[in-house]
Structure 1
C-alpha cells in the first residue's frame, strides 16, 4: 500500500512583479491529477543564477526524508554554475527530498512510488539525478548563451557606430509601457527594452503615480 508523501511547492520568480500565481495553479493541478495535493508553498524572488535562496533553504529545513520538492521547470530551481548546482543538489540529497519537475516526466513517478519499494525508489533516484544534471547544464548554457549574444550584439553595433546605449528616458518609458500592455513579463520587458528589471519597475511605478 502506497503511503502519502508530503509535497512542497517551490516557486521562483526573477523579479517582484513576476508573481508565481500561474505556476502555483499549474503545480496544484498537476498534484491533483496524481491524487495528491501541495501541502505547503515556498515562494521567493531570486535569479536562477544566484545560489543564495532563503526560501529554498527553508523548504529543505522543513522537510522530512521522502518529501517531494515540486517545481514547474528545472530552470526554476537552477541556472547555477556546475559547482553551485553540485552544492545545492548535495543539500537536497542530504535532506532526503525528491525533486519532481513538470518538465521531467521520469520524476513524476516519485509521487506514486511506494515508500517500502527501496529498489524502485533507488533506480528512479539514479535516473532522475542524471537527467537533472543534464537539464541543469542546459539551463545554465541557455543563460550564458543569451548573455553572450547580448554582448556580441552590443559589440557589433559599436563597431558599426550605431550603438547608442540605452534609449532616452522618454523613449524607454514608452517602450516599457507598450511592452507591458502587450502582456510581457517584467524580465522579458527589460530584455526587449534594453534595461534592467529594476528600471522597468521604477518606470511602471512612476507611470502609475501619474495616471
Structure 2
C-alpha cells in the first residue's frame, strides 16, 4: 500500500502545498510515509485536473489517496462526482481525508473482510455527503459573488477584477515575439479570451 497525497488550491495565487505538513504529520502518527505528492492549482469544480488523474494512473489496488479535506478532492456537480468516483473505484483506491474521521481506519492494514466492507460502505456515504456539501458551498459562494457584482454595477461602483499588469506585460511580449496562442495557453494556462483582449490592445497601440 502506497499513500499518495493530493494537494489542490483553486488559483495560482494560493499555496496548493499549504497542507503538506498536516498530511505528513497524519501519516507519521501511524508509522507510515507519503510515497508521492501531487500538487496543482485547479478548480475543485472541474474534472480537468491533470495531477489528480496522474495520481490515479500511478495507483495500485489498495493505495490511499490522501487529502486534507474532501473539498480539496471535489466541489464537482453530481454527474462529474460520479465520474470521479468511478475512476477511483476502478483503481480500487481508498480515499482518506483528514476532515473525515470515518476514513482514517482505511489507512491502516485491513481487518477481516466483513469489517473492511462495512467501513468502505460507511466511508462512501460520508464521502458523498461531504462532497455534496462542498458543492453547495461552491454554488452559494458563486451566487453571493454574482449578487455582489450586480449590486455594485447598479450602484456604479463595480470596477471588475484588478488587472494583473506584470502577467499581461509578459503575455504581450510573447505575442509580439510571434508565439502561437496554443503554445502560450499550454505554457501559462491563460484563457484564449485574455489573449484575444491583449492582441486587440497591441493592434490599437500600433494604430
Q: Would you say how many aligned residue pairs link Structure 1 and Structure 2? A: 169
TM-score (norm: length of structure 2): 0.75
State the Cα distance separating 1:157 from its structure 2 match: 3.8
Question: Aligned match of 1:165 in 154, 158, 170?
Answer: 158
Query: How big is the shift at 1:202?
Result: 4.0
Which protein has greater RCO, CA pairs closer than 8 Å, 6+ apart? 1
Tell which structure's C-alpha radius of gyration is larger.
2
The aligned runs of 1:41-80 (5 Å cut-off) are 41-80=37-76
Q: Does 1:137 align with 2:103?
A: no
Judged with a 3 Å threshold, the aligned counterparts in structure 2 of structure 1 residues 22 and 201 are, in CA distance, closer, same or farther, namely: farther
Hey, what does 1:151 align to over in structure 2? 146
Q: CA RMSD in A?
A: 2.1
After the TM superposition, list the runs of 4 or more consecutive aligned residues in structure 1 that deviate by more than 3 angstroms.
156-159, 198-203
Instruction: Decide whether the 8 Å contact of 2:8 with 2:17 is kept in 1.
Output: no
- CA–CA separation in structure 2 for the residues paired with 1:32 and 1:61: 25
- 2:89 is aligned to 93
Task: Summarize the Cα distance change of 1:59–1:200 in structure 2 as closer, same or farther, 3 Å threshold.
Answer: farther
In structure 1, distance between residues paired with 2:133 and 2:37: 26
- Say which SS state the counterpart of residue 52 (structure 1) adopts: coil
Shift of 1:44: 1.2
Q: Unaligned stretches of 5+ in structure 2?
A: 171-207
CA distance in structure 2 between the aligned counterparts of 1:87 and 1:37, rounded to whole angstroms: 29
| Contact 1:66 1:98 (8 Å CA) reproduced | yes
2:183 matched to which residue of 1? none
**Residue 117 of structure 1, CA deviation:** 2.1
1 CA distance for matches of 2:138 and 2:54? 26
Q: Using the TM superposition, give the Cα deviation of residue 201 of structure 1 relative to its aligned residue in structure 2, in angstroms.
A: 7.5
